[in-house]
Structure formats: C-alpha cells, structure tokens
Amino acid sequence: MKVSLSSTAEYSSKAAESIKDLKPNAADILITSIVTSMVTDLGVVAPTSSGLLTFYDGKTNQSHTVDGYFVSPKNFKGNDHEEHRVVLTYGGYVETCKGANTFAIPGIYKILDFLYKNYASLPLSKLLEFPINIAKRGFKLTQPTKDYFQHALKPMFMWHDYSKMILENISQDLENGVVKLNKLSDSLEHLSNEGFNDFYIGDISKEILKTIVNEGGHATSEDFGNYKLIEDNKFNFKYKNLMLTGHSGPSIGGLMVLKYIDELSTGNNIEALIDVYKNRKDKYEFFGDRQSLINQEIINLTKSSSTIQVNTSDDMNNHFSITFSSGYGSGVLCQNTGMYFNNSLGEIELNPQGFLGDTKGDRLISNMSPLIIQSKNGITTIGSPGADRISSAIAQVLLNYSKNNNWRQAIDEPRFHVNGDGSVRAEPGSIEAYKDITITDKYDMYFGGVCVSGLNKDVFSFGDKRRGDTSWIS
C-alpha cells in the first residue's frame, strides 16, 4: 500500500518511517504521527491536546468530521481561581494564563480511539512503539519549539518545579539540549496495553486528577468520564471547481475560512477583512448554542456565492486531516504521567466571558478547520495550525490553488493576516503597502503551516516551509 503524509511536525515522518515495513495504512500513519508530535513538539502541542479531524472513507466514498475539541469543566470548584497572566513576545504580543486551573478536558485520545477502532490495521503496541522509545531515549527540540521557546520557555515552562527539572538541559542549550521524558514513555506504554480510553476512565486519568487537585485545578473524574466526540456535524461548500467539506460548528474555523474566501475572491480589501475579523469577535465568540448559529451562517454563505497539522492519505482512497493543539501550554507537568497540561481555559482571546467565565461544561472556541477537498483530480486534505491565522492561511492557499492548480506553488505564495484592530502582518510581496503594516521574514511561522495530502493518479503530500516542510511518501 502507498501512503503519504504531510505535517508541521518534524518527527512525524520519522514515526511513519519506523512502521513502513509493516505496510501501514493512512490511519496507522496518522495515529503514530499524532502521538509522536505530542511527545516531541514541546510547547506547540502536549499529551493533553484536543483537535478536529476531517476524513474521507475510501470504502463508502464519503467525507466525515469528528470534533474532539476541549470541553470546560462543568464547575470551577478547585482551590485556584487566580488569573496567572503571562505576557509573551511571541507573534509580537500575546497574553495568556498558566497553571493547573487553566486545564480543560482534552479530546485527542477519544479521536485516537475512534481512529484505531475504525480504521487502523496495525496493533496499538506497534503504532506507539516509536513515540514510547523516543520519549525514553531523548530528542532534540524541533525548530518550531525552539522558535516558541525563545519567547515562552522561561515564563511558561520554567516556573513549575518538575517542568524546570526536566527542561534544565535545554534551558542551558536550546539548540543542542536533549529532552528525556521517561514518565511519559511509561504512560504511553500503559496506553498501548490498556487502550486510549484509559486516559478518561483508568489509571492515567486518576494520576492527572491528583495533580489537578493538588495544584488547584477544576476538572473532575465526572468531567473526564462525560467527554463525548461530536461526529458528522459538517458542511459541504462549492468553491469554483472544488467541493470543500469541513466542520459546521461549534468550531468557528470552517465558517471563517469560507468568509475569508468570499472576501479574498473579490480582491485584497483590507477594510473588508477587518470587518470579517470584527464580525467573528462580535457575533460568534460566545458560549451556549454556538453550533446552530454557525450552521445557519454557513447555509447563508452557500446560498450566496499556535498547533500541529497532520494529513495522511493512502492509495485505497482513505484521507485524514487533523489539527490539534494544547493552547500555549500551562507549564504544569504531571509528575506521575509525564504529561504536560494544556492551558485552554487560559487562552484569553478565546474566552469571551473572561477567565473562568460561566462556560457550563461547553466546548471551547476553536479556529481549527481541517478540510477534505473533492475535485475532478481526486481527493485532497488540507489544514493548518496558527491560532486565528488558520482561516486566513487556508483561504489564501485555496484561492492560490484555484488560480494555478499547483499545491506546492499555492502553499509557497506569500501570505498576510489582518487583525481586528486594523493592524496587518505580511510576508514580503503579499500585499500592497498599508498604513499599519508589519513586514515579516519570508516564510514566517506566524502564518501557520498549510499541509496537504491526497490521491489523484498517485498519492502525494506537500508541507509548508513556515513550519518544517515535512512530507513523506512510502
């Protein structure tokens, strides 16, 4: 079987390479790549991540979506209600919060369980062998992690005593230091024997909950046990000769891709793009029945004409695109599992009610938008990391591809992003001069990392030079 992978995670191709002799399919490659990234891409993702999956089933010839995004604890009854706010220079200026009280219930292991039970062909022990070994053997930091740690290592990851001890080696030498995560290796080995659902109802969850209680967090065993995936809440959207399938709420990412495409197709009108950004903030970033509103907005559009991305495809016409994240990272490292905690409750820009607002166990707000694309050429997956730049990055690449029919060229074209305050960040040559514009370096990681994989006459994959440019075919 031929399989392809594109990713923003450097070690994902090495994970894929480690099982190639076992004749893996696209789901096998995806599972080992996701788990490996949660080990090696420190700060970018963590073993307590969440994500959105969009995939195409070659047997039924149908596209599907699986929402495994963060869910807030039902109540905030932990001891720590303080907002531990941190200012980072990452991307210019970012405010976020750290600590165990920012932990939200992650869905990544529900997604992995879904993939393994429905689509994988290899034993779980084989799929987790590479991440288990690299966690124990040790690894050097990937470039995106080094770039992020230039800003975040000290304020976000060295305040916590156990994390400080584990990262002491790289704090002295970011370029050549080696990270060893023996406890995490043991936890992954445990999951390989017990299954991914142990994270929610077994020994792993019990150890995580001990740390949460001890450090003032709010998640409970009930929150873990009640976590559910949202399946097949999807949209189909015709854009020129491409049929796009993506998530139709409660994530706002898919809707925003469509809105950006709509505006960009009429020209690079900065004021119009500012209005798109403001409209998102004013209209869609709330808790409650966000799903119904976003569904209706996508229907209306159809009538009028920081994160990891991994895409895999195989020649049986199975295709998977997943975007997953742990926020900016809380800095908390669970001593008995070796798992870093997410800080999704502390992502200030995605919590409109403020820190520990009344979310009532809601799904948190996501910009992710992995898509399946059907055209006369075949099936393609696409997605990107990059917080609020995800939607604009994917939209610009789709617009480029509609003009040149060349994924490599479409991804490499310079990008820009318009913020709600009217400021613009832009790569050289992407846009005309504007009153409040910051010109970045070429291929700046700020603008995401759009990845594609697919099958036309053969399997193919393309990574993004902004985030590792990882692609692999076997």
> Is residue 214 located within the same domain as residue 303?
no
Specify the range with the lowest mean pLDDT, choosing from 54-58, 116-120, 417-421, 442-446: 417-421
Per the domain annotation, does 145 fall within a domain? yes
> Is residue 430 located within the same domain as residue 302?
yes
Per the domain annotation, does 356 fall within a domain? no
Per the domain annotation, does 31 fall within a domain? yes
Q: Is 87 exposed, middle or buried (0-12, 13-18, 19+ CB in 10 A)?
A: exposed
What angle is formed at CA 270 by the lines to CA 268 and CA 364, rounded to 5 degrees? 105
> Is residue 252 located within the same domain as residue 305?
yes
Per the domain annotation, does 206 fall within a domain? yes
Which residues span the domain enclosing 335?
3-230+324-350
pTM, two decimals, is 0.91
> Is residue 338 located within the same domain as residue 416?
no
Number of CB atoms found within 10 A of residue 70's CB: 28
pLDDT above 70 for 304: no
Span 387-397, average pLDDT: 89
More confident residue, 414 or 356: 414
Per the domain annotation, does 470 fall within a domain? no
> Is residue 101 located within the same domain as residue 218?
yes
Per the domain annotation, does 117 fall within a domain? yes
> Is residue 205 located within the same domain as residue 73?
yes
> Is residue 162 located within the same domain as residue 265?
no
> Is residue 204 located within the same domain as residue 239?
no
Number of domains within the chain: 2
Per the domain annotation, does 46 fall within a domain? yes
> Is residue 122 located within the same domain as residue 213?
yes
What CATH number corresponds to the domain at position 271?
3.60.20
Quote the crossing angle between the two packed helices 270-279 and 253-264, to the nearest 10°. 160
More confident residue, 349 or 11: 11
Q: What percent of the chain has pLDDT over 70?
A: 92
Per the domain annotation, does 316 fall within a domain? no
> Is residue 411 located within the same domain as residue 265?
yes
Map 284-332 to HEC letters. HCCCCCHHHHHHHHHHHHHHCCCCEEEEEEECCCCEEEEEEEECECCCC
> Is residue 222 located within the same domain as residue 238?
no
> Is residue 171 located within the same domain as residue 254?
no
